[in-house]
Amino acid sequence: MNTNLRRAIGTAAFAAVAFPALAACGGSDDSGGSGASGSKDKTVTLVSHNSFNASDEVLKQFTRQTGYKVNVLKGGDAGQAVNQAILSKSHPQGDVFFGVDNTLLSRALDNGIFAPYEAKGLERVPRKLQADAGEHRVTPVDTGDICVNYDRAYFADHKLAPPQTLDDLVKPEYKNLLVTENAATSSPGLAFQLATAAKYGDDGWQDYWKKLKSNGVEVVDGWEQAYNERFSGSAGGKKAKGDKPLVVSYASSPPAEVMGVKPQPAEAPTGVATGTCFQQTEFAGLLKGAKNPEGGKALIDFLLSRTFQEDMPLQMFVKPANQDAKLPELFTKYGAQVNEPGTLAPEKIAKNRDQWVKAWSSLVLK
């Protein structure tokens, strides 16, 4: 078996030698050292989900300030990335994990993947976002609201006021207009279920969904199908002849709709029903067993710095956690002001999530 193993590795090596083109994409782990081995003092490895994005210029600034080069590893979507981090906790893939949100926070904390670190600049983050303020295993980095979006043109054409609250959505004038995502498979889908649980409580949310169901709510599997296919207000939905003027999406979707559109319109084609929101907070934490904990701490500090926080909105369509960071004009002009989004304590979500999703599935899907 030993020779077999060596031969197998030989194949891999053969492939690497035989295809010089690969040197181009393999190059980064030679120089980067992948956090797991190699030149560990110069590189800090950030593990995240596939939505993570930062300007090259901003990452370079981190290197200039601290001397550390950032190597980014992206996994699947937010849920998958957290699960990957939990599974690999005995041999973590990097130094810092970014992208665990309040709906999954307890799972990450219960599995003990993070080491405590109190970030510099945390005092500029609102207290209520600091979900783990006692131990500082995670640091809040950004927030985002999941809300019902509406197609302005549809409601103008039909001379109908767009809905503003969860209560509005079950009214007869909005029958058959809303499309949402499967709470079992989609993060905005789950957040919308949590918004109803936050508003109507443990006992009331199921009744609400019964009303919503008889008012013709449509459930599709993921955000892409809901927003790009079924929602009539989005660019994709217009091409796909989307038939639903209401969709569960993000409060930042309207600015995103007009980003890069020239000339810039006076208002976004879509609006936000601000009384239907649920707030997600994304956290970063130092991974236990990190090869470069010092670099990791510097990186977490950097994630809270104004440089990173002001770059973030246009990169990931989220809002900065740091109060000093200014929102770009795109957000202030086209974004919605969500004053009191629904929230739930992470422990409460952790305790009920699986059972709620099960109950939701049998209530809404069956």
DSSP state of 41: T
Tokens of 356: 């709620």
Least distance from other proteins to the Cβ atom of residue 289, Å:
11
Give phi and psi for 284, each to the nearest 5.
-120, 155
| Nearest distance in Å: CB 122, other proteins | 27
Q: For the beta carbon of residue 261, count every other beta carbon within 10 angstroms.
A: 11
Q: Are 258 and 271 in contact (CB under 8 A)?
A: no
Among 63, 130, 164, 315, binds other proteins (CB under 8 A): 315
- Residue 201 sits in the site that holds other proteins (CB under 8 A): no
Q: For residue 346, how many other CB atoms are within 10 A of its CB?
A: 23
Tell me how far, at minimum, the Cβ of 353 lies from other proteins, in Å: 9
Give me the phi and psi of 263, to 5 degrees please: -70, 160
Structure tokens at 310: 């002001």
From candidates 66, 185, 206, 352, binder to other proteins by CB under 8 A:
185
Name the packing angle between helices 293-303 and 306-316 (round to 10°).
Answer: 70
Give the residue with the Cβ less far from other proteins, 16 or 156: 16
Q: How far is the CB of 143 from other proteins (least distance, A)?
A: 18
Taking the complex as a whole, the smallest distance from the CB of residue 351 to other proteins amounts, in Å, to 15
Q: Which of residues 120-179 bind other proteins (CB under 8 A)?
A: none
- Give whichever of 133 and 264 is closer to other proteins, judged by the CB atom: 264
Task: Tell me the torsion sign for CA atoms 14, 15, 20, 22.
Answer: negative
Q: Which is nearer to other proteins, 97 or 121 (CB)?
A: 97
Residues 6-35 that bind other proteins (CB under 8 A): 7-9, 11-12, 14-16, 18-19, 21-22, 24-26, 28-29, 32, 34-35
How big, in percent rounded to 5, are the helix, strand and coil portions of the chain?
45, 20, 35
Minimum distance from residue 358 beta carbon to other proteins (Å): 10
CB of 144 to other proteins, least distance (A): 12
Interactions with other proteins, residue window 329-348 (CB under 8 A): 330
What is the closest distance, in whole angstroms, from the C-beta atom of residue 123 to other proteins in the complex? 29
**Which residues, numbered 218-277, are part of the site for other proteins (CB under 8 A)?**
219-225, 227-229, 234-236, 239-241, 243, 249-250, 253, 256-262
Residue window 70-109: x/- pattern of binding to other proteins, with contact defined by CB under 8 A: -xxxxxx--xxx-xx-xxx--x-xx------------x--
21 vs 266 by CB, closer to other proteins: 21
Number of residues that bind other proteins (CB under 8 A): 87
Mark out the alpha helices in the chain (DSSP H runs): 2-18, 22-32, 56-66, 78-87, 105-110, 152-157, 166-169, 187-214, 223-224, 235-239, 253-258, 293-303, 306-316, 329-334, 346-360
Q: Closest CB to other proteins among 75 and 342?
A: 75
Binding mask 44-73 for other proteins (x = CB under 8 A): -x-x--xx-x-x---------------xxx
> Is the separation of the CB atoms in 145 and 281 below 8 Å?
no
d(CA 266, CA 239): 22
Residue with Cβ nearer other proteins (19 or 133):
19
Number of CB atoms found within 10 A of residue 307's CB: 19
User: Would you say 134 or 260 has its CB closer to other proteins?
Assistant: 260
Q: Is the peptide bond before 263 cis (omega within 30 degrees of 0)?
A: yes
> 103 vs 279, which CB is nearer to other proteins?
103
